[in-house]
Amino acid sequence: MCVWTTDTHWGWAICQNIPSNSSLKESHKSDSGCSLKTDPYWCHPPGLTNGEVTCHSPRGRAYRSTLGTRCQMSCDRGYKLLGRRSIMCLANRSWSGTAYCRTAKPDFLSYYFVITVVFYLHDFVFHSVRRCPELFPPLHGYLSCSSDGSNYGAMCEYHCEGGHERRGVSSRVCQFNRSWGGDPAESIEIKADVKTAPALLDQFYEKRRLLIVSAPNMSDPDYQLQNIMIQKADCGLALRHVTVIELLGSPPRETGRIKESLLQPQDVLMALIGFLHRQAFRISRSYFSMVLLDELGLDRERFISPVGSDELFSYIDSFLLDEEEREKLELRSTCGHSCPIAHK
């Protein structure tokens, strides 16, 4: 007669012949006719509805249900495990226990699930219900807002069209009491009729970047091409706080403008051109060129042929914008926001 006992850790069996009391540790088959239970499906494959079973066999991954295999039972989120958390395949071809997953009551919900529900309710109650009145853009300006523009916590930033500068706060936030923080900002026209060139440039200092476009005349083909590309890039330039100044012609027919505003009087225009030249910007009247100045009035880049908006924006984003400005632009791009329509 052969009696089997098992090692529960390694999964091998010892055959004992009665009454000889002799034992033999076998790996496959003994002389007495006893056989090691190495069938890869010695026990039926375990399953757990609404849960997961992770098994480890002493004979390797290919033996998922062989003798000595141990399996860990776990339930999906929202379910509670009832029964054995760990079971083992025994010599009698059965598992050492059973388990099943039952829908959890609120008291049994996981901490993560509870927190998720709390944040969802917070978002529903406060973000969807608490709204501020519609915020209107300023004359000659527009708004860029997070969220849908009026939810609690939404932030709206003020922007001005070319030829205008912001006066007032840069942004406002929708508060818990359903009102906007701060006072409305305004877009004020940049004065082109100042008395001196430094007074003109002082309006941009630490506020705006300047793109100075110079050409021999308005019929210059490079200028005409660049003018078309600048008009198409008007919104992108405004988002990057870039103002375009045009200097056209040669004496005695020189003209200058900021967007549609002509620079007046003539002696101011002449002083501006001379001032730029004296500052070693070397902007020529003889051929088309562009100079890009940062917010401190420093010469950062120049171009002697027309430049597309993608190339121009790439340079500004890489070398002139600070980290906060880049993050805002990336957020707008990720969200797929198009350029807002200005309020006329």
Q: What is the CATH number of the domain that holds 89?
A: 2.10.70.10
Q: What does the block give as tokens for 309?
A: 């908006």
**Residue 282 gets which letter from DSSP?**
-
Compute the average pLDDT of residues 159-168: 80
- The count of domains in the chain is 3
Residue 74 CA: distances (Å) to CA of 4, 54, 87, 116: 32, 8, 12, 21
Rounded-to-integer distance, Cα 90 and Cα 93, Å: 6
Predicted confidence at residue 311, as pLDDT, reads 93
In a domain, 60, yes or no: yes
pLDDT tier for residue 40 given thresholds of 50, 70 and 90: low
- Residues 163, 228, single domain; the answer is no
- Residues 211, 250, single domain; the answer is yes
Q: What does the block give as tokens for 7?
A: 């090692």
Rounded-to-integer distance, Cα 177 and Cα 163, Å: 36
- Residues 203, 300, single domain; the answer is yes
In a domain, 342, yes or no: no
Whole-prediction pTM value?
Answer: 0.48
In a domain, 55, yes or no: yes
Q: Does the pLDDT of residue 114 top 60, yes or no?
A: no
Measured over all CA atoms, what is the biggest interatomic distance in the chain, rounded to whole angstroms?
127
Compute the average pLDDT of residues 245-260: 78
Note down the domain range covering 30.
Answer: 2-104
Out of 189, 205, 236, pick the residue that ends a domain.
189
Rounded-to-integer distance, Cα 45 and Cα 64, Å: 7
- Residues 204, 315, single domain; the answer is yes
- Residues 313, 221, single domain; the answer is yes
Does 74 or 64 have the greater pLDDT score? 74
For residues 88 and 68, the answer to whether their CB atoms sit within 8 Å is yes
In a domain, 343, yes or no: no
pLDDT tier for residue 301 given thresholds of 50, 70 and 90: very high
Out of 104, 128, 148, pick the residue that ends a domain.
104
Instruction: Among 96-110, 199-213, 235-249, name the one with the lowest average pLDDT.
Output: 96-110
In a domain, 344, yes or no: no
Percent of the chain surpassing pLDDT 70: 67
In a domain, 84, yes or no: yes
Kindly provide the residue ranges of all beta strands, DSSP E only, lying in the chain, ordered along the sequence: 2-6, 13-17, 22-25, 51-56, 70-75, 79-83, 86-88, 99-103, 141-145, 155-160, 164-167, 171-173, 186-189, 209-215, 242-248, 255-258, 261-262, 289-293, 299-303
Rounded-to-integer distance, Cα 110 and Cα 116, Å: 10
For residues 245 and 212, the answer to whether their CB atoms sit within 8 Å is yes
In a domain, 340, yes or no: no
- Residues 99, 117, single domain; the answer is no
* Contacts of residue 242, Cβ cutoff 8 Å, sequence gap at least 6: 208, 209, 210, 211, 316
Q: Does the pLDDT of residue 170 top 80, yes or no?
A: yes
CATH of the domain at 199: 3.40.30.10
In a domain, 341, yes or no: no
* Contacts of residue 6, Cβ cutoff 8 Å, sequence gap at least 6: 12, 13, 14, 67, 68, 90, 91
- Residues 210, 241, single domain; the answer is yes
- Residues 202, 242, single domain; the answer is yes
- Residues 231, 297, single domain; the answer is yes
For residues 44 and 65, the answer to whether their CB atoms sit within 8 Å is yes
- Residues 205, 276, single domain; the answer is yes
Rounded-to-integer distance, Cα 232 and Cα 111, Å: 52
pLDDT tens, 217-239? Answer: 999 999 999 999 998 888 889 88
pLDDT tens, 11-37? Answer: 444 444 444 444 444 444 444 334 444
- Residues 184, 281, single domain; the answer is no
- Residues 70, 164, single domain; the answer is no
Out of 51, 75, 104, pick the residue that ends a domain.
104
Closest CA to 222 of 157, 167, 288: 288
